[in-house]
Amino acid sequence: MTIIRGLVWDAISYASQVAAVRNESRQKFLRFQDNNSQISRGVDLPKLGKGVSSSIQSTVECIRAFKDQHWPP
């Protein structure tokens, strides 16, 4: 009887863990779908450019200047 009781509690514990994993997976999948729908609409390049840090912009300007100096159009 004790063995059966232990098996029942193990089954209940296992079922609750499975339910928790299913719930978490569902939430992550829904977040993924939301993020994917935003990507599929396209990227707003001007908005993206505003988010680029000034150090990266400075680096890009230096690379452009180097390119223009060594490889004129």
- Give, as one character, the DSSP assignment of residue 15: H
Q: What percent of the chain is predicted at pLDDT more than 70?
A: 68
- 16 pLDDT tier (thresholds 50, 70, 90): confident
* Domain encompassing residue 67: 43-73
Helix (H) or strand (E) holding 51: none
Q: Do 37 and 11 reside in the same domain of the chain?
A: yes
For residues 31 and 6, membership in a common domain is answered with yes
- Whether residues 8 and 26 share a domain: the answer is yes
Give whole-number Cα distances, 16 to 9, 26, 27, 59, 66, in Å: 11, 15, 17, 53, 62
Please give the mean pLDDT across all residues of the chain. 76
